[in-house]
Structure formats: structure tokens, C-alpha cells
Structure 1
Amino acid sequence: MTMRLGVLDIGSNAAHLRIADLTAGYPPQPVATLKRQIRLAEAISRDGVIGRAGIDRLTDAVREAADVASRHRVHELVPYATSAVRDAANRDAILTEIQATSGVRVGYLDAEQEARLTFLAARHWFGWSAGPILLADIGGGSMELAYGNGETPDLALSLPLGAGRLTRHHLPDPERVKRKHRKRLREHVESVLARNVGDLCAHRIGQATAVAASRTFAQLARLCGGPKAKAGPHVVRELHRVDLGEAIEVLAARTPMERAQLPGVSAARARQILAGAIVADATMAALNLAVVRICPWALREGILLDRLHHSPGHGRRLYAIQGESA
């Protein structure tokens, strides 16, 4: 039996709908996608409130996604927000307005659930032959880390090291980044990592397959000479730490508009890609990783796989979206 599921991921930069057919024994089969830039990161004030313009872009995107899902006759639409909305001071008011204007009840995952679901996606992409997996995922508001030898991680954690969050808080002029601000940002990232990755480092992570699953890592890999997107998802893509130092210098010397002209760097992430590169470099250093393999599957695919494996009557899912029955 095939079930058609729509997953709507509301992040700090974009709302991304993926519709796929799920059949036992097969990977999710893509049906349609929709991506709309909502730029929530730039709409967040210093006190954590998402402003009117950002809310309007978000509600418009949710309405459009719901229409697309309806036209494709999905059996279920799973809409969820990640850290930008989850951590917003006016989160509940935003979710209430979305439901009132679109009829869609958007929930949110907690950060550890995001890490576990992304790990599930990485495990299915690389398979059991990868052995233990160490996963890193840099988002707009947070970075998730996970480690494990099974289908789900033994350890999962989330750190406030999202590329958008760090750009807002530590790079006061993203157009022309001063060296002193880069230095302070690096020191902050290293301090957060030092306080939080001890339990992770206690595992034998040196024997793990190091995996990165995010647009930030993927764009950095392309910037550092990796294959183009048109080469397809099955081409091996890696990011080597030895290349990141030069990439950081290249990004820091350019304005966001100029960065968007570089290989792999999208206009939507051009402002925050420098902070993302600093986080990637500091994380690889803290975990003693020379290279990470880029995984094209991430949180959306993790939800699709979890729904497939835990359909009604077949066990409890790995997660529960706040406001939705598990």
C-alpha cells in the first residue's frame, strides 16, 4: 500500500514542502516540491520577536503549500517549524495566526528530535556498512550533533550555533565583516563546543563515519571544489577541513552579494554562510574530523522514513510534533 505524504519544513530562510509516495520496502519516491523564501532570520528583533513582514511571508508560504498539497491529493500534510519559530518570543501567536488564516495547524519539533530524525535519514542513506555515524547539521538557529551505531543515535544534542543566529548576534555588519568580529565569533563557538561536546567525545567517534547533513555543509563542500548539484545526489561529496580556512578568508573578504556569485553559495544563505563556515571549521576541529561526507537526506526525509516505518498500528514514532497527536 502506498501513502502520499507532504512534509512542510519551516526554517529560518525558507518554507520547503516535499511530497513523496511511501511504500514499504522502497525509499520515498518524490512527487513534488515547493520552496518559498520567507527570511525569518532577518525579521527577528533583538528581543526574539518575529516581525510583521516575516509573519506575512510565512503565512503566505503555508497557504501556498497547503494548496499544492491539496492539488496533489496527499493523504497527510505534516507541517512543522524549526528553531526560528520554535524559539521566537511570539511563537504561539504566530502559530495561532497561521491556523486562522490558512487552516493549517503548524507544530514544532524539539531540537533533540530534529537530531534523531536527521540521523535516521543519514543512516538510511549510507547504510549499515558505514558503521557508527557521527552527524553534524548546521541550521539557521541551531546545530544538531548525533552519534550512534544503530538506526537511531545513542546521543543527540542541539547547540545554539545556527548560522543565522550567530550572524545576527555576532556579526554586526555582515556586509563588511571585521577581523575582530570574526575572532570573537570563533571564540564564542569554541567556548560553546568546549562546554557541550564532552559526552560526545567520550564515545569512540574517531572510528565513526563523519556525516554532515545541511545546506550549509553542502554549499561549503561545493565552494571548496566539490561536484555541482546537477551531478546528482549519488555522487560522493565531501568537505575537508584543510580547505575551510581558505574558504573562510574568501567569504570574509566579500559582501553577501559578492558571495552569492561564488560556486555553491545561494543568495538566500549568502549573509550567513561565513558564520556557518566558522561553525563547521570549529566543530570539525573540536571533534578531530579531517573530512565529513555530505548527506543529501536530512530532517524532511527522516520524517518521511519514520512515518513509513511506524504507520498506524506498527509502533510509536520517534517524535511528536507539538500540537499533533503522536
Structure 2
Amino acid sequence: MKKSYYLFNPGSLERRDNTLKFTPISDTETEYPVLGSPRYLPVEDINEFYVFGSLTGNSALFNFLGQKDIAVHFFDYYENYTGSFMPRDGLLSGRMLLAQTAAYQEKKRRLDIAQKFIDGAVFNMLKNLQYYNRRGKDMEDFMEIMKLLALKIPQSKTVQELMGLEGMIRQTYYDAFNLILNDFEMGNRTKQPPRNEVNALISFGNMICYTLCLRAINQTQINPTISFLHTPGERRYSLALDIAEIFKPIIVDRTIFKVLNKKEIQEKHFDKKMNKCLLNTEGKKIFVKSLEDRLQETIQHRSLKRNVSYRHLIKLECYKLTKHLLKIEEYKPFKMYW
């Protein structure tokens, strides 16, 4: 199985025959940069890179990455996603583009697809609360409020109304985090920048989930810029935001509960300054290790009758949406059934 590589240190990446050579560079302030020991990475093992430090490369490198179908996602110092290098889209389909555009332009069809995204997201959020309710955390009041609000999803008349409902449901869900987490408090949801530890983990994890969805979309025929729940805009792949709604509770939130309640991530793993709270490098390494472990876990797929990983579930979701847009099969969002 191919792996994701996370580059936290600044360095240079270059092609060496049929491998990639990464040479870290010390970020200490010296007159001349100090090079670390290079690491050679077989391209057959690489799915994508996540780059959190400065990276030096050349056109030969990116030509090679494109040939080998390897994506590179870039983040700035404040953990904000800034962009991706994606291999050439070899699955372009005019028929698919027309079908996707037509579905967006038909208000009823667009709303129907958007409602399905929210329906799947709410179901998976409730599954998380039910899990902790069975383990002695009183989630009943939160679940009742979310269920009552969820009943209004099919009755929503516009995408804007639907987004408002989703916001209220998610705020109730986040309020439950204070009971789920042992030593940390959620507080209000804050982003750009996050103001406390839980918000920092949510923002960081959600951005990784977004790139996972973008990568899965890129490996299918659908276009990442034409979305149904989030409004398509300039310079963003809004369909990845749509699909991420379904998987954030399953992948990101479960990882957050694990690393905090098992004390894998503690106060010392955050940097706090100027009303910002961000994971430090050590904290990022711990979190992405736990997230990757989650992505590699497998479940018995009901339809396929075989084990599939959480990572592969995202790609399967894109295939289901493709069939729906082409009017081959009705789209049903992924819902946890365990």
C-alpha cells in the first residue's frame, strides 16, 4: 500500500534515478545552512507529500512526480492549506463535466445532493456521540437536539437554509466535546486562527481531510471545482469541502478523541502566542501518525463484501457520486454501521 509522507523540516527534494532524495536543512540561524542526512524514498511507495516546511525542487522533480502520479500539498507556517501540485488529470471526461454542471444548475438536484452530504455528516456525528454515550458519557441531550434539527434537513428549501441547519447541528455536536474530552475544553469553535488546543486539532485535521478528499476526486472523473453544498468559488476545490463533511467525524474527530484522552498529545505539544494556538512540530508528528493509523484501518464493506481502508472509502464515495451524476445509481452517503 502506498504511503503519505509528511515533510516537517525545510529541505530539498530531487530525483535520483528512480528514487527521490530528500535532504533536510537545519533551520538554526547560521551563516551557512547545515544539511542533514539525506533519505532516499522509492517512488513506488509514495502516494502524496504533505509539506509543512520550505521545500526546494526543480522542474525535473515535478515532471517526475507527475509521471508517477504523486501529489504534493503545501501548508504555511500557520498550518493553513495553500495549494497542491496535482498530477495531470488523465481521467478527464466531457460527459462527466456536463452532467456535473447540469446537476449544479438544477436547483432541486443540487439541493438534493447537498442534503445527502449533510444527512451523512449528521448521521456520523451522532454515531460518535452514541459511542461515548454507551461508555458512560451522558450525550442524550445533545443527541436529542441534533436529531430534532436533522428532521428539518429534507424540509430545507435552499442550500443557504441547509447550511444554517448544518451550522446549528455542528455547534451542538461541538458542545458535546467538553464531556467527551477528559483534560481539554472545546469552548467556541474558532479558526483562522484557532484559539485553543481542541480548535487547533480540529483545524489541522480538517485541512488534511480536505486534501484527502481532493486527492480522491483527482483520481476519478468528477471536477473538484463544481460543488453542491459549498458555493463554488475562485481558487478553491469546493467539492472536496462537500465530501469532507461526511468523513470529518469518522476520521478527524475520532483521532482527536484518541490522542487527547490517551494523553498522546498534551499541553507541551502546542505553541501559544498572540491569540493563536497551533500544534508544534512534535505535536503534528504525533497527530499525523495517529491519523494515518486510522486511515489504514479496514472495515468489512457491506456492498463489496471485502475489507477496505478508511482512505479507500473516500475514493468509493467519489465513485458513488459519479454514478449519481450520470444517473446510473442513486447516491447514498457513507454512514457508519458499527
Same fold (TM over 0.5): no
TM range, normalised to the smaller chain? under 0.3
Q: TM-score scaled by structure 2? A: 0.25
Structure (1 or 2) with the larger CA radius of gyration: 2
Q: TM-score scaled by structure 1? A: 0.25
